[in-house]
Structure 1
């Protein structure tokens, strides 16, 4: 086997082990699993809950999102690792307050690490151009297809004005609140059908 095949096998094992380990550790309410129209309704409900948490946690975020061209919300990105790490989550794209598509996010890493976590990830497309580039892609990677600025809180306790000037910015919420200074890394985002 070559190095790439070993890496792929290691990533698959980490995803499997991480998924089993993370079953009880999620930011998504219990009983939200469903299929078809009810799955879409459950996802939209979880997105609404995540946005409510963002508005409460980050002053000024509601106004920022109202001005944005679109917002991509992953209510629960579950990650697990033991040397090889992996993350996976599903979410919805909102434009003008309504859902216009559903997406999955995946990311992997290699290095000394152990543990797992669940977090909510919100991407804010502050410009129409950035949103259209995302929607027209056949698989968008944060950091490669667009620079994603980390959402920051300014000295006034509200969203930093520089965050609002970026084409794409992001916020990461854990069970304890905003994860300050956390970057989204090279997450691969793909449109899915629910």
Structure 2
């Protein structure tokens, strides 16, 4: 059984980076070493009807490529924040204007699609993403970023504290060496 992946916001918090693929193939998605590479997707007024037509066509011929892609989009897009993250990376080009409209469109589109079948196209990628997010180091880094390094000033203050600690340690070593 396929275990779904989290939204783009949660994946980014778990140390997953998003990059735009150079290929223009719409369904081209990959994940390697903490980087999810996605082909650019333009969301406009007719995108929903276009995807619905492709899904209907697929159901007639019993394929699931577009259906699986829509399920993938539904996993990574839950809210306007997810759309904002993907837009910032150049993956989603939002012609609707409002990120919330894109999130609603994707979530509404996936309601009419059945769950992934036994030949889910992105099953291996989902497994790799879940393994990456489940690693202790990535969870720690996500927790550290979320709770402590959410502000540039906190990062600067930690760096200054480390420099002061290093200078204090150096001064202590030289004092001991001078006495001995």
What TM-score range do you get, normalising by the shorter chain? under 0.3
Q: Please give the TM-score of this superposition, normalised by the length of structure 2.
A: 0.25
More helix by share: 2
| Higher-Rg member (1/2) | 2
TM superposition score normalised by structure 1: 0.24
Q: Which has the higher contact order (CA 8 A, sep 6+)?
A: 2
